[in-house]
Amino acid sequence: MNSNILEIENLTVHFPIYIGTVRAVENVTLEIKQGEVMGLVGESGCGKSTLGFSILRLLRPPGLIAGGQIRYHGNDIVRMDEQELLAIRGKRIAMIFQDPLTSLNPLFRVGDQFIETIQTHENGVSNKEAVERAADMLKRLGIAPDRLYEYPHQMSGGMRQRIMIGIALVLNPDLLLADEPTTSLDVIVEAQFLDLLNELREQFNLTILLISHNIGIVAQMADRVTVMYGGRLAETGKAEALFADPRHPYTQGLLASIPNIKLDQPKLHSMPGAPPDLVDPPSGCVFHPRCPYVMDKCRGEIPPSFNDQDHQTACWLYG
Amino acid sequence: MDKDMEKLLEIRNLTKHFPVDKGFLAQLFTKEKRVVHAVDDVSFFIREGEVLGLAGESGCGKTTTGRLILRLLEPTSGEISYRGTSIFQNTREEMRRLREKIQVIFQDPYASLSPRMSIGASIGHPLKIHTSYTPAEIEDKTHEIMEKVGLSPAGFLARKYPHQLSGGQRQRVAIARALITSPDFVVADEPIAMADVSVRSMILELMVRLKEEFDLTYLFITHDLATCKYICDRIAIMYLGQIVEIGPLREVFQHPIHPYTISLMAAVPVPDPKFRRKHPIPKGEIPSTINPPSGCRFHPRCSYAKSDCSGEKPRLDQVAGDHWVACCVRPNAGA
Amino acid sequence: MNYSPTAALGQFIRRFTRMGKQYGVEWWILVAGAIVILGVVSMAMFATVIAPYNPYDQDTGPQLSPPDSEHLMGTDNLQRDVFSRIIFGARTILGVAILAAILSSILGISMGLISGYAGGGFDKVFSLVMDSIYSFPGLILAIAFAAMLEPGVTNISIAVAVIYIPTYFRLVRGQTLTIKQELYVEAARAIGAPGSTILAKYIFPNVIATTAVVFTMNVADAIMTEAALTYLGLGLPPSVVDWGMDLAMGKKFLPSGQWWLITFPGAMISLLAVGFTMLGEGLSEILNPRLLEK
């Protein structure tokens, strides 16, 4: 049964700073279905990472959720109090980040970080039990259990990234948020990591939100894909449908401008212009200054998402 | 491609080892010196007018090779010749004149520009060093090159500082600075790695266009094999300080022979959900450059490795025409 | 946009208060320090106009008389007007302190740049010398230099300058070592710039910002050192009007109740030093966050 594990509705996130308010995420609505991998793509500054952080309310000040709901199994995370949040964070929804060297505490052994995670979220787990679970997790990751006694800096980048997944999954969460998990990895290690993620996804029955600017890995991993631009949702749909038939002009431009090692496409197309200023975004459709199909309507009114067989596009061309 | 075209740059047995600092006491008591084998016995050449891609993952030595060519580092041993003359024999004066002809574009456009120099001053500085143009002439030439790379209006932008520009613009500044002395050869060290996705194609396109217009030769250093396809004529794959395969781009991409090249190409994520990877990827990670594996450095991770592979280091052997591979097993050859 | 003077003044005041709100109390400290310094500087510049009497004149009034309407700060034992001596004394102390600061900054910065960039044995030797000077108690070193050299404004400035050179040296050398590793310095080498150009155009401009704060603190310190030296009778001949010397002389008369001879010079020395310190503090708070966020 494909129910929605996470429903984001009209989410708006602002960063009020001294030169104005950065509209990092504006009115984004999307659903993540149970058991799927949802890929969230876009360039830097499009709001995808901000959205990821908002889900667990990990926004750094001055960021704040200015509106909307984030419903996890029906409960709105935005309105949860501290206690309810702690019950979810790490335990039901876990997150891994781009640079494992900075997300793992350099002063503690890896094993200790596992134990701390387990014992903070579950009462009455003895040290021995926690270590066993950690060792078990390492085995599943293909790492020798005695590496629990090592410090993060003694490990390679790829291994640290796997440890980070291990810590994230040791509590058996339903949903894993992965924010640019492979950006700091070499190509071959990245491929190993993605293979591992696929295996773990099956073993743990995971739902994954994969946030990345690397369209290649999203194409390889995701069941459905969402494209963001300028803080807004541009297009969302099944991966194969979106790549085969990109509808939003931004998606079209983006896909035409990324190098593809397999295709025999001699030229790369480039999109003119630059990403929008989020403090003072363009009126109407945020992409209109760069859009080759811009119409008068686009300059004035913000397009809603037009749905066509589970393929949604926020563009007046489809209205 | 005319194979008798002049060899612009020739590199022979280039080696660079970096000493590893040990603690004071350890240095007293142990005799062996530990070094990082950044570049080990690398040989190749670049023909005039072509773009040679130098590709590999971290620690393969591609960036160090670039720095050696620019003589920002001194080699441990080996030779680099530019138009037949060894660059390491150059005097300071000769080196300065060479720098007019060999230029560089770095990976991080923000870090490669002085934050306290206006971009006009940064771009024009090479002219100040190498020519005797008047300030007015330098300004003219600066504006001219700025317009050529798409920094327009030049007069307005020339007075700006790096932090006032976008990432894409900053990389254009770096390109303008590299080309203002009309060099023959440009070393591009991961020029688009730090740029935004939508800006990358613009910069790549610009580099291709400028190559035609200025009659340039590029050494394109990158970890992203997919971009090589759009700019490189030939490609060299490096692993742990050595070249494992080198040849025309189409050849190497369609018929990779070295197991590492095969794995590397298979691992590159294809932005198309219909393509799922078929070839298995090697296990393990890149070993330490301080203690590289014996013989063929890839052998511990290679699924085709035989007993010979840990013995003697394979040399680059010609496979077909311009295509050379350093592998004894060659699982794909003949395919 | 209207250019009338009142509008310009209004804009200035608005900018002024906005800075205050943005930076908080540090801005006001900076402003307070600046006001004090400006006051003393004006006093020094317009000394001939403001001073009621000639500071050398030994016949301005009764001997050792307390402050009154004729002599705002009283008279000393040689019947000289203290107020005029304070005003003219500002010239001496400012002149020496600023000259000393300029000398030490020029020497310290250039040596730091060259030593940091050159590295190797040269750098090791220089650092050793500088560290030795630095670890030596400043005042004693200044006394030693002042005693060796003949009394005079230039010489006392040199004596004061010496003790501050290592501070600039260390700061600039440290920064140079860091900046030397930056990519834009490597880029400068790649375009063929010679070492001197790299130092002057690429390293120096990126180093200078931090030295501004050190300069103000240097002046504050130099003021105290100058006063200390002249208090001890070193560095300047008695023919020069100076707060430190007046302080030394005034000390003798305190037991007999003539407080004005020692209080005013002492207060002025403290006030001027505090003024520069406040300027430096405020400046450092305001510049540093900018430097950190690049």
In a domain, residue C1? The reply is no
Q: Where are the domains of chain A?
A: 4-36+46-92+226-318
Q: How far apart are CA A163 and CA A106, in angstroms?
A: 13
Closest residue in chain A to residue B268, using alpha carbons only: A187
| Superfamily of domain A4-36+46-92+226-318 in the CATH hierarchy | P-loop containing nucleotide triphosphate hydrolases (3.40.50.300)
Which among A197, A117, A215, A211 is positioned nearest to A161, based on CA atoms? Answer: A197
Q: What is the mean pLDDT of residues C170-179?
A: 93
Containing B83, the helix (H) or strand (E) segment is none
- Chain B neighbours among A 128-157 (CB < 8 Å)? 156-157
The one-letter amino acid at C292: L
| Cβ-Cβ contacts under 8 Å, B103 against chain C | 190-191
Check residue B1 and give its pLDDT.
46
The per-residue pLDDT for range B116-175, each reduced to its tens digit, is 899 999 999 999 999 889 999 999 999 999 999 989 898 899 999 999 888 889 999 999
**Residues of chain A numbered 24-43 and touching chain B (CB < 8 Å):** 43
Rounded mean pLDDT of B270-274? 88
ipTM: 0.85
Please tell me the CATH superfamily of domain B7-325, with its number: P-loop containing nucleotide triphosphate hydrolases (3.40.50.300)
Per-residue pLDDT tens over the stretch A70-111: 999 888 999 988 888 888 888 899 999 888 777 888 888 999
For chain C, list the contacting chains (3+ Cβ pairs, <8 Å). B
Q: Is the pLDDT of residue B25 over 50?
A: yes
Average confidence (pLDDT) over B301-318? 84
Terminus-to-terminus CA distance in chain C, angstroms?
32
pLDDT band at C223 (very low <50, low <70, confident <90, very high): very high
A4 phi/psi in degrees, rounded to 5:
-85, 130
Per-residue pLDDT at C3 exceeds 70:
no
| pLDDT for residue B23 | 64
Q: Report whether pLDDT(C109) > 90.
A: yes
User: Which of C190, C197, C206 lies at the smallest CB-CB distance from B72?
Assistant: C190
Question: What b-and-e string marks burial along B258-271, b requiring 16 or more CB atoms within 10 Å of the CB?
Answer: bbbbbbbbbbbbbb
Nearest CA in chain C to B96: C192
Least confident of A94-108, A229-243, C128-142: A94-108
pLDDT at B93 over 90: no
Residue C19 pLDDT: 72
Is residue C291's pLDDT more than 60? no
Average pLDDT, chain C: 87
Instruction: State the smallest CA–CA distance between residue C207 and chain B in angstroms.
Output: 10
How many domains is chain C built from? 1
For the stretch B26-75, pLDDT in tens is 666 666 678 899 999 999 999 999 999 999 998 899 999 999 999 999 99
Q: What pLDDT shows up at residue A30?
A: 92
Rounded Cα–Cα distance for residues B128 and A185 (Å): 41
pLDDT the model gives residue B313: 83
pLDDT over 70 at C2, yes or no: no
Cβ of A261 within 8 Å of Cβ of B229? The answer is yes
pLDDT at B6 over 60: yes
Neighbours of A272 (CB within 10 A): 10
Confidence of residue B3 (pLDDT cuts 50, 70, 90): low
pLDDT given at position B120: 94
A128-139: average pLDDT:
90
Q: What is the pLDDT at residue B30?
A: 65
Whether residue C142 is predicted with pLDDT greater than 50 in this model: the reply is yes
Average pLDDT along chain B: 88
CB of C117 closer than 8 Å to CB of C293 = no
Helices (H), chain B: 24-29, 62-69, 92-101, 119-130, 135-148, 154-157, 167-179, 197-214, 225-228, 249-254, 259-267
Q: What is the pTM of this model?
A: 0.82
Which chain C residues touch B130 with a CB distance below 8 Å? Answer: 192
pLDDT at B325: 92
With 80 as the cut, is the pLDDT of residue A1 above it? Answer: no
pLDDT (average), residues C109-117: 93
Min mean pLDDT across A21-30, B3-12, C48-57 is at B3-12
| 3-state secondary structure (DSSP) of residue A192 | helix
**Inter-chain contacts counted by CB atoms under 8 A, chains A and B:** 126
- Per the model's pLDDT, the better-predicted residue between B43 and C292 turns out to be B43
Q: What is the mean pLDDT of residues C181-190?
A: 90
Within 8 A by CB and 6+ apart from C18, the residues are none
CATH (domain of C163): 1.10.3720.10
Q: Per mean pLDDT, which of B278-282, C57-61, C171-175 is the most reliable?
A: C171-175
pLDDT, tens digit, 9 for 90 and up, residues B184-242? 999 999 998 888 887 888 899 899 999 999 999 999 999 999 899 899 999 999 999 99
The burial of B34, by beta-carbon neighbours within 10 Å (0-12 exposed, 13-18 middle, 19 or more buried), is given as middle
Chain B residues 69-98 with a CB less than 8 Å from chain C: 70, 72, 95-96
Which residues in chain B are closer than 8 Å to C191, comparing Cβ atoms? Answer: 99, 103, 125-126, 129, 177, 181
Give SS3 for B119.
helix
Contact at CB, B126 and C197, closer than 8 angstroms: no
Lowest mean pLDDT among A11-20, A74-83, B244-253, C23-32: C23-32
Question: pLDDT by residue (tens digit) across A180-217?
Answer: 998 888 899 899 999 999 999 998 889 999 999 999 99
pLDDT band at A8 (very low <50, low <70, confident <90, very high): very high
Cα–Cα distance between A111 and A257 in angstroms, integer? 44
> What does chain C look like in DSSP terms, one character per residue?
----HHHHHHHHHHHHHHHHHHHTHHHHHHHHHHHHHHHHHHHHHTHHHH-SS-TT-TTSSSTTPPP-SSSTT-B-TTS-BHHHHHHHHHHHHHHHHHHHHHHHHHHHHHHHHHHHHH-HHHHHHHHHHHHHHHHS-HHHHHHHHHHHSPSSHHHHHHHHHHHHHHHHHHHHHHHHHHHHTSHHHHHHHHTT--HHHIIIIIIHHHHHHHHHHHHHHHHHHHHHHHHHHHHTT-SS-TTS--HHHHHHHHHTTTTTT-THHHHHHHHHHHHHHHHHHHHHHHHHHHHHHHHHH-
User: Does C287 reside within a domain?
Assistant: yes
Q: Which of residues 119-178 of B touch C (CB under 8 A)?
A: 125-126, 129-130, 163, 174, 177
- Report whether C267 contacts C179 (CB < 8 A): no
**Which of C189, C193, C197 is nearest residue B72 as measured by Cβ atoms?**
C189
pLDDT tens per residue across span C228-287: 999 998 888 888 889 999 899 888 888 888 888 888 999 999 999 999 999 988 888 777
- In one letter, which amino acid is A208? I
Average pLDDT score over residue span A159-176: 90
Q: Where are the alpha helices (DSSP H) in A174-278?
A: 187-204, 215-221, 239-244, 249-256
Q: Does C287 touch chain B (CB under 8 A)?
A: no
In which domain, by residue range, is C155 found?
25-293
